[in-house]
Chain A
Amino acid sequence: MSADLRTTYMGIELAHPVVPSASPLTGDLDTLRRLEEAGAPAVVLPSLFEEQIEHEEMEVARLLEFGAESFGEATFGYFPELDDYATGPGTYLDLVNRAKSTLSIPVIGSINGTSKGGWIKYGKLIEEAGADALELNIYFIPTDPKMSTAKVEQQYLDLVMSVKESISVPLAVKIGPFFSSIPYIAHRLVESGADALVIFNRFYQPDIDIDDLKVRPNLQLSSSTELRLPLRWTAILHGRIEASLGVTTGVHTSEDVIKLLLAGADATMMASALLHDGPDHLRRVVSGVEQWLTDNEYQSIEQLKGSLSQASSPDPGAFERANYMKTLVTYAGPFV
């Protein structure tokens, strides 16, 4: 008998824990369909960005009105007037709506921003468009040396509370790893209303073009080596917070998934690997997980989940600083 792959992620039962996370693949109805065919248990749609909403609205208004009522021969501006410039979330909501009506798996909408503002009402609109849950991706890069850690954290908490108040579907909060105390902020976020934490946001780090001397955005797909960071914090957080744990970054293979489940993840999120190998990769990963469970005589995911978390590990120190020391002193490479 094959193992029971089901898992529960923020109250939603999933057929298995390998979820396609937000990426261009989940922004298109055709690829969404292919992901479902490949066995995706749910999908996280790409994020609707705060900046995208606000900036685009302002830019469209600015550019289309530029020059209007300024020159006697072109008093009405330079573009035909439309009733709706579709600047808002209309296209996105349409995607949610169509994804929901096309797919039979849960659809998780996503918004990305840093501050409370008019834009958060789009969370509600996404819910109304049919999303089964919402992922709030908080992407804040502090640059002001006078802004305290506490203030930064409060901003996160305020935002989570505002969004949580406005919706009734489950809320997942996706954060980055750059906190003084991940367990503390995780705890506070859950207190503020997060039904799940997704760790970690993989910031797109800018690059510098040394020919042009320009800073350029640079998207690089992740690799399995990046799994270590979320792996550790999954192990630490598991059992310590009253919320589901979704883990993303570096999830490429069935081995990666199993490691995260052992550490305590409720769901694992996959993007780079699917972008690289296509939607069918998902089927292979799931079948690898299933095979491993069978080979190792696990009956269910639930049985496996968190069995090697810090709380359950025979070597709790392995997830702490000691691990760092050990790694360094035992490292052996071509130059040592």
Chain B
Amino acid sequence: MNKKVATIDGNEAAAYVAHKTNDVIAIYPITPASPMGELADAWSANDQRNLWGEVPEVIEMQSEAGAAGAVHGSLQAGALTTTFTASQGLLLMIPNMFKIAGELLPAVIHISARTVATHALSIFGDHSDVMAARSTGFAMLASSSVQEAHDLALIAHAATLEARIPFMHFFDGFRTSHEVNKIELLSDETIRALIDDELVREFRSRRLSPDQPAIRGTAQNPDVFFQAREAANRYYDAVPDVVQASMDRFANLTGRTYRPFDYVGPSDAERVIVLMGSGVGAVEETVEELSRRGEKVGVVKVRLYRPFSPSAFIGVLPATTKSIAVLDRTKEPGAIGEPLYQDVVTAIAEEESAGRTAWEAPPRIVGGRYALSSKEFTPAMVAGIFAELETPEPKNHFTIGIVDDVTHTSLSYDEEFSTEAEGGTRAVFYGLGADGTVGANKNSVKIIGENTPLYAQGHFVYDSKKSGATTVSHLRFGKEPIRSTYEIQNANFVACHQFNFLEKMDVLAIAQPGATFLLNSHYGPDEVWDHLPAGIQKQIIDKGLGFYVVDGDKVAGEAGLAGRINTVLQTCFFALSGILPRDEAIAEIKEAIAKSYGKFGETVLQRNYAAVDGALAALHEVEVPSRVTAAADGRQLIPDHAPDFVQRVTALMMEGKGDLLPVSALPVDGTFPTGTTRWEKRSIADEIPIWDPEICIDCAKCAMVCPHAAIRMKVYDPQALETAPARFPSKDWRSRDLPGKKMTIQVAPEDCTGCGVCVDVCPAKSKEIVRHKSINMRPQLEHVDRERKNFEFFLEIPEMDRTEVKTDTVKGSQMLEPLFEFSGACAGCGETPYVKLMTQLFGDRTIIANATGCSSIYGGNLPTTPYTANDDGRGPAWANSLFEDNAEFGLGMRLAIDAENSQARSLVSALSAGIGESLAEDLLSADQTDEVGIAAQRDRVAQLKERLEQIETDDARNLLTVADALVKKSVWIVGGDGWAYDIGFGGLDHVLASGRNVNILVLDTEVYSNTGGQASKATPRAAVAKFAAGGKPTGKKDLGQIAMAYGNVYVAQVALAANNIQVVKAFSEAEAFDGPSLIIAYSQCIAHGIDMEKGMSHQKEAVDSGYWPLYRYDPSPEKHHPFHLDSKKPSIPFKQFAWQEARFAMLARSQPEEAERLFRLAQEDIDERWSLYEQLADIERNVPGDLEEVEA
């Protein structure tokens, strides 16, 4: 039989089988499992059918809890049903999983195993999620490679039907889920042969149906529950044999054999490692290498982890085993050991005590933790573990891969140990997210995997920034199947696709002697050497690297592909690596281009072909001089005046050396200092805005819309300029309120992302040259030195006294210091200006609960975080709990603050004699409705603290700890539409109903932005999104209306660019409103398919078309007409707005008639809603008593 190969990633490998073997697929996006659902949806949308000729129904739910519920119901009603998830998603499924297992409903959940959030969230891989679900009664089958993710997916689906026990089929997030590898694709015949239709019929016949009525999900009492729980035992007992039988049938069909436990190594091994998941690859390689060296070592790969079969386990373990290390990719604090370790210990003990073992003496067993959150797990570490097992007293409960200098759990190991063979290609590419490096490398893996007998593997590493993100691609090609489940350590090909990386990272550290180094360089072969940093020059010479340059940007530019250097560099890789004959390689690249870009049209194809053709002519070898000519690298990453923690810890993470940090360097409870982005000077912009004070009209719009607080306005006394740098620009501040002041608009030149939004909104144009505005984009390199000095000086200028500023005006708000700066959000992000504004207005007394999503990633992803403090040390306090619970999380903060305030007030009353009646009275009756009142109260609290220091009572000491609660605090609950409209809606609703004083900011991008653009209930009609490939057929949920229905909730819908002042007013009113407030903020997003530089123009059109009406609903008792429509009657048709955005326009291309229908309905939505809102504006409403009750 002809074997069909495919070069795909683990997610696709598993989803492929799931889509073939199910009727219903209920999903919810979560990293790193999202692609499985997206692929399944795309296949169904494309009419691909399952084994039974039907197109599986794919439905996106509001949460994983919802998906699990839908799976449960679908299984009950007799449809073969699956889902895909990870991490917190799996945790949300657990309640239903107990039910599904308890009811013996056969199903498979495919899991890209990912870290469960504890002290921090992590999107990366380990087994903490699946281990948390191990008591649900699901069987657990672990895949350790892309091929296995494919094969065991089928085995799981086959076995569950026979066993009636549901399965979790899991593989490691990112390492397997996102690794592209060449696999043998299962044929439909094989899949069909393994899925027994008789079992499918039996399953269907057990369905819940009124034609054969039965009842399930009864409530049972102490008399029978226990027995009933034991009634299914024999089904669990049968699972290992059922799985083995499925594996045997599979082996007969494919030649690939699996067992519940597989042993690799010599039959007389003395030291054995037991583990599951992708780490198996590294261990297996090491076992082979050490065996070659004569060491008696082996590995047991755990595939069927639950139900755990002690006999099967003992059956594969060599009788000669003397010591075992059981590796768990999870941590269970407080347990005697991690789960797999405990199971192995128990299994051996039970078998031993039952006399079913063959060894002379039972082996010594130790457990260890490895590779949490995708920490690298290398053969060197494995060798270190084997070495430890050889010692008389091997360390138990060890860790590997870190330095634990606190509780000394870690093993040391020889980092030089390597199993990387001489043969084959190991290529590492450093690129930017935006330059297409990863996409081209995926193509290269496919080209080689699918067109040559060679095996191919691609693993891709992304950083956590959404703008200017770097990517590192690790590609292996060789004659043998590639099991290396770790990043390349010795590359024989290194490509650096961005010249400026040479200054930022040591790209050649990974290059082995004699390797080839390809650099994308504007400098030609004769001049490039003098532009290289000394460290790079030295490594090129010392390692004898073959050094080549290509001006990828020039070639791409000439081909009409400015900025997309991927094709050029890919061609050069093939030319230099010699994996394929050059002509053949070129032909294959062009074919791959046709596959990838053909869908976009002939022009895109031709331009890419031109780039391929132009690449080879532009590729030049550099004659390497014999000595280093550059001066030693003297750059200092972090200035000396940075905080100690930043210098000790953050700096290493910034350099990409966080792996070197020992345990002692990290906080014990996840608490980190804020304000660290200012130390990470990323310089990612090609152009930055430069201010021309001559034309400026003091409007402050540029500062207001800047997503990164990288362009700022300060108004100050002229004396401040006395020490200004020579060319520091300033102008008179034109305002009656603050006469005699100066002002400056200043860019942070190394923090700006170059998005250009500030220039787009600047209304001040030169009289002589209209395109010259008051701020203009200019080349960063030409301006950075001067602007750096200017920015440093700008920061030294004293901030405006908040009590002098009219904070509820646009200009006033922008005079206030932003306490959210330089986040890693996308260039041109539509969300961050709102967050920044919030910190300007209230940041010095704000506590933020942030839902998981974009805002928690750019708000809290290490190494550096953007929330910062003012000169007084005050600034936003921020925390992220989960995705689904954010409203409740924020409400909890409010409750605590209120409790503290209440306690403080009681103590002030109780201690009034000691602290002074007058001060006590003032403290308790303070008016804190404006900045003046708040400043005065802060002064009083300072006085109070001084006086309390003199009082030696418990009450005084207690009051000292809660005294700050006497100053008004502002609770902000921040998140995206995925949270507010979908997964967190129940909680949001409850918090709105609570009447408590919280402010909820919904950054509405109308799509799940962070996980890659899946539709949410905020997605509008006619927009194309993942899970709405045919255009969302239904309208957007009107969250504002739902909140308004309570009558006592402040609600505002805002769009920054459409009406600046309305936004400022809404924020001010929401914060001032003594009850729940909801602000729904229009946030443009790269998921809209727009030119982000013009994002604010899109906002304006959204409002002008009536698509996004602006309003404020203020239920304060004095407002008899609470609803105020702030935008004007729609002046342009919806189509005019929509055509400018790819999310709408792509439907008009792909399905013009459906687009026409949905566009018409979308226009009707707008007209109907506008009519409703106009009527609402006339409505009188006062909700009786609610506000008073809350106050009481």
Contact = CB atoms under 8 A, between A and B. Distances in A.
B interface majority secondary structure: mixed
Contacts of A118: 602-603, 606
Contacts of B442: 69
Given A58-B560, A76-B35, A85 B1150 contact: yes
Given A61-B600, A84-B599, A69 B471 contact: yes
Contacts of A91: 1149, 1152
A74 B1013 contact: yes
B1012 A77 contact: yes
Interface string A55-98: 01110110111111111111111111111111110010000000
A76 B38 contact: yes
Interface stretch (B282-290, B932-940, B1066-1074, B1083-1091): B1083-1091
Interface string A200-238: 000000000000010000000000000000000000000
A121 B1143 CA distance: 29
Contact of B123 (A69, A73, A80): A73
B601 interface: yes
A70 B1142 contact: no
A57 B603 contact: yes
A79 B1028 CA distance: 9
Nearest to A119: B603
A86 B1150 contact: yes
Contact of A72 (B174, B434, B604, B1027): B174
Given A73-B1012, A76-B1012, A85 B601 contact: yes
Interface string B452-475: 000000001010111001010000
A71 B1149 contact: no
A82 to B, nearest CB: 6
Contacts of A80: 38, 41-42, 45, 1024-1029
A78 B1019 CA distance: 13
A213 B765 contact: yes
Contact of A69 (B35, B46, B438, B1142): B438
B557 interface: no
Nearest to B439: A69
Interface in A76-132: 76-88, 91, 118-119, 121
B903 interface: no
A321 B863 CA distance: 77
A64 B1147 CA distance: 12
A54 interface: yes
A75 B35 contact: yes
A85 B439 contact: no
Q: A63, A70, A72, A77: which has the most chain B beta carbons within 10 Å?
A: A70
B46 A83 contact: yes
A57 to B, nearest CB: 4
Contacts of B1011: 73-74
B464 A72 contact: yes
Contacts of B597: 61
A88 B597 CA distance: 12
Contacts of A81: 42
A78 B1090 contact: no
Contacts of A63: 1089-1091, 1142
A75 B36 CA distance: 12
A182 interface: no
A5 interface: no
A114 to B, nearest CB: 15
B1012 A74 contact: yes
Contacts of A213: 765, 770
B446 to A, nearest CB: 14
Interface residues of A, number: 38
Interface residues of B, number: 65
Given A80-B45, A121-B602, A213-B765, A75 B464 contact: no
Nearest to B9: A75
Given A70-B469, A72-B174, A72-B464, A77 B1013 contact: yes
B653 to A, nearest CB: 16
A304 interface: no
B1146 A70 contact: no
A119 B1025 CA distance: 30
Contact of A57 (B462, B466, B600, B1142): B600
Interface string B35-54: 10010011001100000000
Interface in A135-158: none
A54 B178 CA distance: 33
B561 to A, nearest CB: 8
Interface in A15-60: 53-54, 56-58, 60
B826 interface: yes
Nearest to A88: B601
B812 interface: no
Contacts of B1086: 66-67, 78
Given A57-B604, A64-B1089, A118-B602, A75 B1146 contact: no
B433 interface: yes
Contact of A78 (B432, B1089, B1150): B1089
A75 B469 contact: no
B466 A72 contact: no
Contact of A66 (B607, B1024, B1089): B1089
Contacts of B310: none
B1035 interface: no
B601 A79 contact: no
B42 A79 contact: no
A213 B762 CA distance: 13
B596 to A, nearest CB: 9
Contact of A67 (B46, B433, B1027): B433
Contacts of B1090: 63
A154 B358 CA distance: 92
A119 B41 CA distance: 34
A73 B1150 contact: no
A86 B460 CA distance: 31
Contact of A85 (B607, B1091, B1146): B1146
Q: A80, A81, A119: which has the most chain B beta carbons within 10 Å?
A: A80
B1010 interface: yes
A73 B460 contact: no
A54 B606 CA distance: 10
A82 B770 contact: no
Interface in B77-106: none
A65 B1087 CA distance: 10
Contacts of A56: 601
A68 B45 CA distance: 21
Contacts of B601: 53, 56-57, 60-61, 85, 87-88
A268 to B, nearest CB: 33
Contact of B471 (A70, A76, A119): A70
B782 to A, nearest CB: 27
Nearest to B41: A80
Contact of A79 (B31, B41, B604, B1142): B1142
Contacts of A60: 600-601, 1142, 1146, 1149
Nearest to B1013: A78
26 contacts: A57-B602, A58-B560, A58-B604, A60-B1149, A61-B600, A63-B1089, A64-B600, A66-B434, A67-B1087, A69-B460, A70-B433, A70-B469, A74-B1012, A74-B1013, A75-B1012, A78-B1013, A78-B1087, A78-B1089, A79-B1024, A80-B1028, A83-B46, A83-B599, A85-B1149, A86-B1149, A87-B1149, A118-B602
Instruction: Across the A-B interface, give the 4 residue pairs with the lowest CB-CB distance, nearest first.
Output: A70-B433, A74-B1012, A78-B1013, A57-B601
Given A71-B469, A80-B42, 14 more contacts: A60-B1149, A63-B1089, A65-B436, A65-B439, A67-B1087, A69-B442, A70-B466, A72-B464, A73-B31, A73-B1012, A74-B1010, A77-B1012, A80-B1029, A85-B601
Interface of B: 31-32, 34-35, 38, 41-42, 45-46, 123, 174, 178, 432-434, 436-439, 442, 460, 462, 464-466, 469, 471, 560, 597, 599-604, 606-607, 765, 770, 826, 857, 1007, 1009-1013, 1024-1029, 1085-1087, 1089-1091, 1142-1143, 1146, 1149-1150, 1152
